[in-house]
Chains A and B, each alone.
Chain A
Amino acid sequence: MTTTAPALTNATLQAADPILEIKNLSVDYGFGDDPTHVLQDVSLTLNRGEVLGLAGESGCGKSTLAYGATRLLPPPGVIRGGEVIFTGRDGVKTDILTLNDKDLRTARWRDFAIVFQGAMNSLNPVHRVGTQLIDAIKAHGKTATKQEARDRAAYVLEMVGINADRLKAYPHQLSGGMRQRVMIAMALVLEPELLIMDEPTTALDVVMQRQILEEITDLRDRLGFSVIFITHDVSLLVEVADRIAIMYAGEIVEAADAKDAYLRPRHPYTRGLLNSFPPLRGPRRELQGIPGSPPDMAKLPSGCRFADRCPFVMDRCRTEDPALSRTALKMSEPERLVACHLHDGKASEVPAELAIQAPQK
């Protein structure tokens, strides 16, 4: 087995029941002759009912991926190519990127809702919480009467643990945690099949983070929606996510089962990222972090984008960009993907830290 595995265009192996398939999505920032290619051919699949964690440093394209896939990129973001296939409960497949404005509006919030980064600014300060919840219901004409819309808004608010009389409150009268709950309630008001959460707990304290996370997991179990959970906090992801995709400089470098990625990272970047957080259990160890900083997206180096910061860098990494493919231990873990030249050869040639074996079942 000296030949390299064929590059897979899809980040995961064919899933049985995908709800969202992002295929070769490319996003540029800038309209001019020299735009910055922020995402290039990124592919990712989310299965129905799954919580997929998207992790990476700031500026690696996590949010761009989510906004690009939902066509919410603020200017000067431009989608340059790719497909985003959404499969509804009824099995109908639609490409979000080619929908016309009207269909896109209809699909938004009904099919996929988003909880944005920074709950502080996600609510319009001049409208009551209730108005903003009911707005979403009315836009989709799901409920006929005003009273029904109001009841629905009250119901989702109670669902996230906020008293229904808070419908009359203005956002500035709520605490940060409550606002984030309101945003989650708002996202769930039309019972979407897919929920994209962009760092939903970043601005909150640890206690509140914990509560919100438990709430999300609990609601997911009850309502059965799928989640893309974006965060830079990998240790948090391990608890909520079923699967994790690690992004670096606009590319997915590793995709694996949450526990596997946490305990047995295969990519040097994943390992570095994990070492940047204190372990939840086990003996204390020195936090290492990753020396250097992500490359300037406008001037990307040739070859592997992580090469300059990688402790295991080889000559080949400087010239050849590794494709996302199976790991060197492909036999024992067919579902794992990694973009690293270390995994092109024999398993025995992979550094020990990146080749920890799963315990035999």
Chain B
Amino acid sequence: MGFIMEGLDAEAYDRTYSDGHLIKRIIGYFKPKLPLMITITILIVFNAGLDTAFPLLVSNSIDTLSSTHAFQTAVIIVGFILCSSVLSWTCNLFRQRFTARSVGDVVLHLRKDAFTAVMSRDMSFFDEFSSGKIVSRVTSDTESFATVVTLTLNLLSQVLLYVLIVVVLFFRNYQLALMTLTIMPAIIGVALGFRVVARRFTRRAQRSLARVNSNVQEIVSGITIAKNFRQEQNMYDEFKQINAQSYYVNLRSGFLYNGIFPVLVFIANIGTTIIVYFGGHSVLGGVISAGEWFLFVQSLSLLWQPLTSIASFWSQFQLGLAASERVFALLDAEPRIQQTGHETVGQIKGEITFKQLLFSYDQRQTVLKDFSLTIKAGETIAFVGHTGAGKSSIGKLISRFYEFQGGKILIDGRDIRTLDLAQYHARLGIVPQSPFLFSGTVADNIRYARPTATDAEVYAIAQQIGNGDWIEALPEGLETLVGETGRSLSMGQRQLVALARVLLQDPAILIMDEATASVDPLTEAQIQEGLDVILKQRTAIVIAHRLSTIKHANRIIVLDGGRIAEEGSHEDLMRRGGHYSDLYNTYFRHQSPDYKPGEGFIPVRDPNMQAPSTR
């Protein structure tokens, strides 16, 4: 069956906690609810006491019947039984109410914590783990967490009931009581054995379910591709296999959970048989009365109920513990970004200095090595270079999305590690490579960075981008709904919205990663005008590809393999005829209407320089 378990490994940030540690943390969440929890516990104790009354009262009345036939006393006892059941019900009513309230609050609290934890993770976390799995931890797993608590409370009442009955039995006849308890070791043994296996099975089952879900998520997200290539059949076949795997894994754990019950019931029934036999003997020997015998037999049926509850408790308790383990692992995942301080950021001029920076995404390959550079406040810097030269990494490091391994980054002379990140980000504008929009209107998205902005402000900003012509193309202007991830809008429109969003944010430092990509030629010109406005008066780091963007730059940095190959103005670099002119050459040829693709790379021969550059 080895194949069934393939690919069901844990996430990298998963860790194992001891049960004790988990429970301690869960209890920690309930501390603020202490008065409510105490009330609930009192109600539970009360409830258990009332529930024990029934077999006792019945057994007493049987004894009075067999001896004196006093119907009157029996009727009074029945009256007691009635009262106790009404009281017990009322206790339960309040108990349920209070439990729902406290558990509801705690789950809300935990979800809030989990979500806040997710939000505070750095970008490397989101690159590594699929959104589907993160989401399931915050919603589904916190819900399973709630069941742990509800179950624990139920268990408490069951155990109390159990203890009360056992105490009563011992007072009646300790020999028979001991006999009643002979089945205990068997039940405990089975339950413990079950516990060991259950936890392992549960983890596998949940992981395989997570795999099915991420498979479904992938097809829902990539449905267009599947349709274009008519690959529905293959997708289906693959899903079927994963679904079948999940079926076997889940069936196995299901068998375990549901099979444990009959086994425990069977053991309990053997107990009943023992009591019937030896109890009968005791009655014949005159050791106990018939009423007491009845009490023992009846109690057994009351006794194994809590015991099976304990067993079923384990099953779901394990589910819940495994779930809370995953939630806590999410909460405790070590952030890779380590801030050494939280200094107030205030107004930023926008000077950025890299000092002997060392950076790699993982151990495999170093992206930046001994990288030093100073960007003056208000300067527009364009980074150019081949893919993988480290251009995007520079943007991500200034954004403080990733942790670097050596050297320093200074913002206005202050170590980036000492700044308050939230305040810093507020002063930072980022136009990502692929613009993400939130569902809502275009206006909502523009004011995303500054939710307090008025409609008039939003409109004014939108007008500044490309003279506002693009708003006309939207069916309902700024009130157009953008759909999930903005997919009701075209790529170009999303870009424009992203630009407007940053413009409204009015940051001191702007980081633009290929921001002008994928806008149609007609809109392109308008965007350039918008960029003029955005780039003015702030430090801008542009990972640039467009001629006009580069022309705007005060300085161009040519990156090659994580090092600065050349730097200077466009004219200087062209004159030098080095690395930049190579890049420039290919870069512009395709933008010229006369360009014909696939003609290869033509080296620049500057008339002023004798040595032609070669590849």
- A pairs with B: no
Residues of chain A having any CB pair with chain B under 8 Å = none
Residues of chain B having any CB pair with chain A under 8 Å = none
